[in-house]
Structure 1
């Protein structure tokens, strides 16, 4: 433990040049939210031996800059409220932060399902339109990686509104919204998440090195500083975002030679077209589509009607870019007659596809033109080329090295006062799920030790159901990792939101984030806010008893009793001494479940929901699903 404590304080002891002005990390800024009911930690840099004066909440506090140019202090706890002004000054300089609120502050982290933005969630249009909550504020940590303990992150505090909320973590937004409405307090969310990342880079290197037989992920040999690798990656991203190769090659023009392009049939679903060629669009690419339309005359305007178009897109007609703003509300585009040609005309469409998204039309009749009230159909065969523009760059593999995300995205936030942590991660560790049994508790303990706020609440999402698709495999290892997540409940002040019933069999990024966020809030009600009446957990397996050819299962958190949804209780399998599992019958008897099978007369073992994408439907009376489990052999 001493090694852990020493390592975080090294951040504050690194030699620096003498500075003339007081400075605080970027997490301290206008619109920030500070944690209520506990000491508020502030820190920064300044001139050696200067006195730092902090005026806040009607009080003034004084701290001294040490011989290495660092200072740190604690302000007394305050109750929720605001807005306040915080002024930090020395004899030579001062900083003023405006619109500061006191409320509930949560750090949210993990991989893509935590990063997944509100704009992609279910009912996004309605949720975004109703997202005007000035006292819900997000600080989104810019992604980065480092071999060394960093002292600064990039980001700023943004209030929730229809302009800003689409990029917020959807899970965190729905959690914050529920917390704000139920507790009537400001809510601050510090979002530090990165899609596709394993758990190892989020754990401090000192913590990992304290264990033998690690790492489970072998570090990628680093030929240069990982920060430089990340900078190179960002430049490649910028090149992708500003790609204009297609226009430079003239692919939108009528006379462009597309004879060697691939022929595809309409409607055009990106994932369907390139099912066996995933390297074309992982993690993303631009796809150009072209087709021809013949017009008898060019005397009258033309309108393009398209019932479905998903993804970012550009549409060109005879080389001229159409105004697609009008498409969104009307599902049609007007094409003035001055763009038309008698005879053959060309339509070209560029779709920006990330992770195989992008759909052009939902059936063969969904794209057509109208001129003079007459419908004009396009040939159902298009030509396509996904290799005109540069691909979206692959993330540096080094981002999964031990500690590199912790160093760059978590350490600079310590010791900002927080209520607790929300965590949604695990998909990237399903290849070796057994290791999660020690890696996950290691992360929880490591973060708690370094924050020095005791056993702050650590709430997490158990992996949702997912059957796998052309982009990602899924098998029983997902069940093993869910078990490892559930085992983390043995740590104090931890809570788990089960998501086994709200996933998407074919999409590793299910869109139902509202249910997940609200289940996390229900968990927080009990764990963090001591509401003993909160329905915060579905049934958790407790014990089993054999009665003849039956096995009787007992559960914690039945909360008024068990029930199932559907025609019958499903999801159970049973095995005897041979370890061969058979489909089982299951019935609810009071607060217990009786499991049996005519094929297994001497049962000793039961599994429930034990697959990547199980059909299981056991709930408690508060409509919370049971966590998948297996009994011990």
Structure 2
């Protein structure tokens, strides 16, 4: 009769588990792999998992200084490593635990931006079904020259209520093979910023189509705002995109601490059903994300994208305009926050297309603003005409004055589309609008409104703007009233 030595079997199985292919005790997150971009001149967080109590030694090739730490009782470990100035020099980092070693290669040091939001941030260079990205073909074909200039980690979708530690999404270099799957806005932002500041730019794309802002906020914040989590979770047919907090827990939490320069944000279309709270919720979200990244003074850069023009089957209604108004308000109340105006980047035939084709201009405009505000490149042409004042003119006309129009407004011949006026009754009518060459003001009149009290510009779900300054930057939508419809 054969005698079974249980201790020997147990030892054999342990060794097999630790040495078997794919069962390594030392593990890194997907975002710490070959081709990664690390934020320059910071104490970069590098982390992973190992056997509890194991000693992990990290050695970056740029200074060859070893940094060691021990994994905690759950096997988690992390270290901080000082990164050098940005360059196109590829580096490597080794991670060693006992006899086991992982080396990640082709690491660049540059500027890293976390780009988050819903489908207009998610929209890849290849486009969505029957919804292309304008000009993407030639840009994809030539993207191989950006291999060491633009890289992106496209984070896998997640939908868990509990905070997660791991999420998929490996870094990819720009190339005709990889670029079609890159976020179009993220790609064009990175390409333009790289062209301006001449250092590698990496994008962590954390996007999920159709999501409301509530999905990107932790539960404790939504509890304070009175959201009913139990009722929401009881809705069996609720779309994953509309589940509270799950995008924060599943897609943001696993990345917390990865060294970044700031955040890029394109979201809001799914909040047209509840626009009134958007500024408050975004303010809370930005503060929490900044706190998560150790930003003690709430100043880590945050740049929004204005919601695109989309009819929502009622082009002349204003719910989408109310969200844009909230976004503009947030840009003013959140410290170190900006917004990129997009109201002129929608073609008339796109009234029923929520994914506009013109992503290049959006990415470039955002990069111009970031280049000046965060990198000190003076003279960037990112400022848009913004409403300043309304004054009574002659013969029943009114004059609208704008900021950021030092060299005038255009078109300065013919009528400017998009203006409406109302008397005290609050009923808006299309206005005749002409630019005064001498004052850079817009003169408004309307035969149906004898005494103009209020003015709106592009304040509808869908109303492509035509008013621009001399740099071609569009006038921001605005209104002088506070009506709900």
Interval of TM-score (by shorter of Structure 1 and Structure 2):
0.7 to 0.9
Pairing of 1:41-440 with structure 2 (within 5 A): 41-56=45-60, 57-58=62-63, 59-81=65-87, 82-120=89-127, 121-132=133-144, 133-135=146-148, 136-212=150-226, 214=227, 219-221=232-234, 397-440=239-282
The question of 1:465 aligning with 2:309 is answered yes
Match in the other structure for 1:570? 417
Write the distance in 2 (CA, Å) between the matches of 1:455 and 1:31: 29
The question of 1:489 aligning with 2:331 is answered yes
Pairing of 1:595-606 with structure 2 (within 5 A): 595-606=444-455
* TM-superposed deviation, 1:166: 0.7
Change over 3 Å in CA distance of 1:109–1:615 after alignment to 2: closer
Larger Rg: 1
Change over 3 Å in CA distance of 1:102–1:620 after alignment to 2: same
2:443 equivalent among 594, 598, 605? 594
Secondary structure (helix, strand or coil) at the match of 2:384 reads coil
Secondary structure (helix, strand or coil) at the match of 1:62 reads strand
Change over 3 Å in CA distance of 1:63–1:543 after alignment to 2: farther
Change over 3 Å in CA distance of 1:150–1:428 after alignment to 2: same
* TM-superposed deviation, 1:473: 7.7
Write the distance in 2 (CA, Å) between the matches of 1:557 and 1:448: 30
Match in the other structure for 1:629? 478
Write the distance in 2 (CA, Å) between the matches of 1:554 and 1:64: 63
Match in the other structure for 1:500? 343
Match in the other structure for 1:287? none
The question of 1:456 aligning with 2:300 is answered yes
Secondary structure (helix, strand or coil) at the match of 2:434 reads strand
Change over 3 Å in CA distance of 1:34–1:468 after alignment to 2: same
Write the distance in 1 (CA, Å) between the matches of 2:152 and 2:261: 15
The 8 Å contact of residues 220 and 397 in structure 1, kept in 2 or not, is answered as no
Match in the other structure for 2:388? 542
Q: How many residue pairs were aligned? A: 442
Write the distance in 2 (CA, Å) between the matches of 1:217 and 1:572: 45
Higher strand share: 1
2:322 equivalent among 459, 475, 480? 480
Pairing of 1:26-45 with structure 2 (within 5 A): 26-45=30-49
User: Unpaired segments of 5 or more residues in structure 1?
Assistant: 1-17, 224-394
Which TM-score applies when normalising by structure 1?
A: 0.66
Write the distance in 1 (CA, Å) between the matches of 2:47 and 2:375: 28
* TM-superposed deviation, 1:141: 0.9
Write the distance in 2 (CA, Å) between the matches of 1:90 and 1:34: 22
* TM-superposed deviation, 1:565: 7.0
Backbone CA RMSD of aligned residues:
2.5
Question: What is the CA deviation profile of residues 235-292 of structure 1, one whole-angstrom value per residue up to 9, with x for unaligned ones?
Answer: xxxxxxxxxxxxxxxxxxxxxxxxxxxxxxxxxxxxxxxxxxxxxxxxxxxxxxxxxx
Question: What is the CA deviation profile of residues 174-220 of structure 1, one whole-angstrom value per residue up to 9, with x for unaligned ones?
Answer: 111112222221111111111122111111112222224x3699724
The 8 Å contact of residues 112 and 261 in structure 2, kept in 1 or not, is answered as yes
Write the distance in 2 (CA, Å) between the matches of 1:623 and 1:527: 20
User: Unpaired segments of 5 or more residues in structure 2?
Assistant: 1-17, 128-132
